[in-house]
């Protein structure tokens, strides 16, 4: 929790004497703190480690085998915690500052405390306390190691001499006996509790939170100062150390008193947290306006200090943590080729009433080539609710297109990006209308509409060579694929055309067969390229649906007619084929029809060799498909809004619509 201004803390701790500081000092303390915390890390791991170190310091080396094993396991886990590297660097710096303060006396305890606070300026007040405790535990652990091994390992004595330790004879059981270690662990746990998601959801105007926030700066200052005082006392030689037990006991009691005050504040906050459940919050925030929402989003951007976003067209990528890796890879590819026309900012949305997968968040963040607005728990509840209600975010990622002036020009630009790539900039409804108007509905079902040079780098040369016959196909039936490709190869050879076979799997959710399953002369589209192909088709359908091409246009709009067939067959994992040649419109068939056409090539070849080969395929398909009825099922993800009425591309009847609830792609 961050303090908003020094004025809010002018009364210190509301009469609690132990936390009182002069107004001038209070202002100095607050000035060391950054208003926007940019360093976040799961501190529970550190608190566990601190406790384990203190326990190990109070046992003999012969009895500490089990504790050492536990400590080793904790240290190994730290390597998997995102953001921990920066935290550990800060802990090492704090530990060095503590050592310098007590060994050289170059600066006073007060000055060093301020230096430590400035070093931790990008952490919350509560996190500062935990990191300071970790730095103290680091010194205790080092001393304990030298105590236990100085008589059995010459290196330990050598290190002790080089580092100038003068207190390696310290009996750490004394610190445990007077309750110092317990007091430190307790106050670390209390500060950690203030960082829980349930506390962060309490409105900042709530009395409990305001009262707690008022305590944090002085509490953090006092605790860090006490840690330095304890370090200074422990640095004394043994003959002096024994006479300072009482002084250590007083400091331990001070830590306990501060912790009791914080515990009282925490209890009130936890009580309020139960009131401000997620459901209650959603009721309170339904009146947020678009301007207020944009202000909050831009505030996240300002928090991170993204100067490269200033005066830029922005795409706010909104998703949960289940966004696919393939989707990120495709968007990375487009983003890196946009000639700085726009910037992308990821706004991660999670269920605020539940914990989330921190490791997954950082994995996704590292994959993305663009900026991340804020860590998921920092996204306010009213923002989450607005995105869901006003922009119809359910589960599938959306990208809100916003001009440099803050005007929203499209609530979901992703279908435009998947269909047209960066050509769709500035991702407005008007731009999309212009692009679709440039496509002939009767003759627009062409290879370049469903493929691009991201999926197939050789695409342009295929289209320009009018004697290249391209066959896209999919499905998981290996026997059909073997027979079909054999017949296509024979027909293409007999017709005197160059054949390109492209296998694009079942659909974007099911990979289908791999390169090892198919012959070498088949181009197998995999991973993000396959995802791109199927998402491109789905995006075409979404665009057509939004433009009303569902009930009345099925006879004239060949694009939606044919795209429905491919998505329908692919959605069920059935076999299908699409034939293309040069710039001419493609021919779409189901698997059996495609096999029949190629198997009977000798019956219809006549004058269909060379450039007339695709024309022959189309004509023969019309002959054999007159009495064939092959209705399909189409599964489309909900990209913001539920699709409208659709017509079967084969029988022209209005299709039934069902709701499908699915937790994952498989």
pLDDT, tens digit, for every residue of 269-302? 888 877 765 444 444 444 556 677 777 777 776 6
pLDDT at 262: 92
pLDDT of 523 over the 70 cut = yes
pLDDT at 488: 96
Average pLDDT over residues 453-475: 90
pLDDT of 498 over the 60 cut = yes
What class does CATH assign to 290-431? alpha beta
pLDDT band at 224 (very low <50, low <70, confident <90, very high): very high
Which of the residue ranges 307-316, 417-426, 515-524, 548-557 has the most confident prediction, judged by mean pLDDT? Answer: 417-426
Which residues are within 8 A (CB) of 424 and not within 5 positions of it... i.e. 6 or more apart?
Answer: 413, 416, 417, 431, 432, 435
Higher pLDDT, 125 or 41: 125
Count CB-CB contacts under 10 A for residue 638. 15
pLDDT at 603: 87
Hey, where are the domains in the chain? Answer: 47-276, 290-431, 443-655
Q: 626-634: long-range contacts at Cβ-Cβ below 8 A with a sequence spacing of 24 or more? A: 628/593, 630/590, 630/593, 632/564, 632/565, 632/568, 632/569, 632/572, 633/568, 633/571, 633/572, 634/541, 634/564, 634/567, 634/568, 634/571
Pairing of strands 313-319, 398-402: antiparallel
How much is the pTM? Answer: 0.59
**How far apart, in Å, are the Cα atoms of 10 and each of 14, 25, 342, 519?**
9, 11, 45, 77
pLDDT at 600: 92
Q: Encode burial over 198-232: b for 16+ CB neighbours within 10 A, e otherwise.
A: bbbbbbeebebbeebbbbbbbbbbbbbbbbbbbbb
pLDDT of 661 over the 70 cut = no
Q: Return mean pLDDT, the chain.
A: 79
pLDDT at 107: 55
C-alpha–C-alpha distance, residues 488 and 357, integer Å? 48
Average pLDDT over residues 461-479: 91
Q: At what angle do helices 180-193 and 207-234 cross, to 10 degrees?
A: 150
- Provide the token pair at 357: 């997968």
Average pLDDT over residues 442-464: 89
DSSP labels for 32-65? Answer: TS-SS------THHHHHHHHHHHHHHTS-TTT-H
3-state secondary structure 316-362: EEEECCCCCHHHHHHHHHHHCCCCCCEEEEEEECCCCCCCCCHHHHH
The residues with which 399 forms a beta bridge, in sequence order, are 317
Tokens 């106050």: give the residue: 187
Indicate the SS3 state at residue 578. Answer: strand
pLDDT at 8: 33
Indicate the SS3 state at residue 468. Answer: strand
Radius of gyration of the chain (CA): 33
Count CB-CB contacts under 10 A for residue 484. 24
């Amino acid at each position: 929790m961050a303090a908003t201004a020094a004025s809010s803390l002018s009364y210190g701790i509301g009469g609690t004497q132990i936390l009182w500081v002069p107004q001038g000092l209070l202002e100095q303390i607050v000035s060391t703190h950054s208003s926007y915390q940019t360093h976040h890390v799961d501190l529970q791991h550190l608190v566990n480690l601190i406790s384990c170190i203190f326990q190990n310091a109070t046992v003999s080396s012969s009895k500490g085998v089990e504790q050492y094993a536990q400590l080793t396991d904790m240290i190994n886990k730290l390597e998997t915690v995102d953001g921990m590297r920066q935290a550990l660097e800060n802990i090492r710096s704090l530990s060095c500052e503590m050592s310098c303060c007590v060994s050289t006396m170059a600066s006073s305890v007060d000055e060093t405390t301020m230096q430590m606070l400035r070093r931790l300026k990008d952490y919350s007040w509560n996190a500062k306390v935990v990191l300071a405790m970790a730095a103290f535990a680091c010194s205790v652990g080092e001393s304990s190691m030298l105590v236990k091994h100085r008589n059995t390992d010459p290196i330990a004595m050598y290190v002790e001499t080089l580092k100038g330790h003068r207190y390696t004879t310290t009996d750490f059981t004394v610190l445990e006996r007077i309750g110092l270690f317990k007091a430190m662990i307790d106050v670390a746990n209390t500060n950690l509790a203030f960082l829980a998601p349930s506390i962060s959801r309490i409105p900042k105007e709530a009395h409990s939170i305001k009262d707690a926030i008022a305590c944090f700066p002085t509490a953090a200052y006092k605790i860090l100062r006490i840690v330095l005082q304890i370090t200074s006392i422990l640095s004394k030689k043994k003959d002096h150390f024994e006479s300072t037990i009482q002084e250590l006991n007083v400091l331990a009691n001070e830590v306990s008193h501060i912790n009791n005050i914080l515990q009282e504040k925490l209890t009130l906050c936890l009580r309020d947290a139960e009131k401000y459940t997620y459901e209650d919050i959603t009721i309170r925030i339904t009146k947020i306006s678009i301007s207020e929402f944009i202000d909050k989003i831009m505030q996240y951007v300002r928090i991170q200090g993204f100067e490269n976003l200033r005066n830029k067209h922005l795409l706010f990528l909104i998703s949960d943590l289940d966004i696919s890796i393939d989707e990120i890879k495709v968007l990375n590819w487009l983003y890196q080729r946009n000639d700085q026309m726009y910037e992308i900012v990821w706004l991660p949305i999670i269920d605020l009433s539940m914990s989330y997968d921190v490791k997954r968040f950082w994995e996704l963040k590292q994959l993305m080539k663009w900026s991340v607005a804020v860590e998921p728990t920092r996204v306010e509840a009213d923002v989450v609710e607005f995105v869901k209600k006003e922009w119809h975010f359910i589960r599938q990622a959306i990208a809100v297109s916003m001009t440099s002036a803050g005007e929203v020009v499209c609530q979901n630009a992703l279908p435009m990006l998947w269909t047209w790539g960066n050509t769709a900039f500035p991702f407005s409804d008007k731009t999309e209308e212009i692009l679709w108007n440039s496509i002939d509905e009767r003759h627009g079902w062409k290879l370049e509409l469903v493929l691009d040079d991201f999926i197939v780098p050789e695409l342009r040369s295929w289209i320009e060579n009018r004697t290249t016959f391209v066959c896209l196909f999919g499905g998981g039936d290996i026997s059909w694929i073997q027979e079909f490709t054999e017949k296509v190869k024979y027909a293409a050879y007999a017709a005197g055309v160059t054949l390109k076979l492209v296998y694009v799997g079942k659909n974007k959710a099911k990979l289908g067969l791999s390169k090892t399953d198919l012959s070498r002369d088949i181009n197998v589209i995999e991973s993000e390229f396959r995802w791109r192909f199927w998402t491109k088709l789905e995006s075409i359908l979404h665009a057509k649906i939004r433009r009303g091409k569902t009930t009345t246009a099925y006879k004239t709009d060949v694009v939606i007619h044919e795209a429905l067939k491919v998505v329908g067959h692919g959605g069920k994992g059935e076999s299908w084929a699409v034939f293309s040649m040069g710039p001419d419109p493609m021919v779409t068939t189901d698997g059996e029809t495609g096999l029949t056409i190629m198997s009977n090539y000798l019956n219809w070849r006549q004058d269909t060799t060379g450039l007339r080969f695709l024309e022959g395929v189309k004509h023969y398909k019309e002959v054999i498909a007159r009495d064939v009825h092959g209705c399909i099922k189409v599964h489309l993800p909900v990209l913001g809004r539920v699709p409208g009425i659709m017509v079967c591309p084969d029988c022209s009847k209005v299709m039934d619509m069902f709701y499908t609830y699915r937790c994952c792609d498989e």
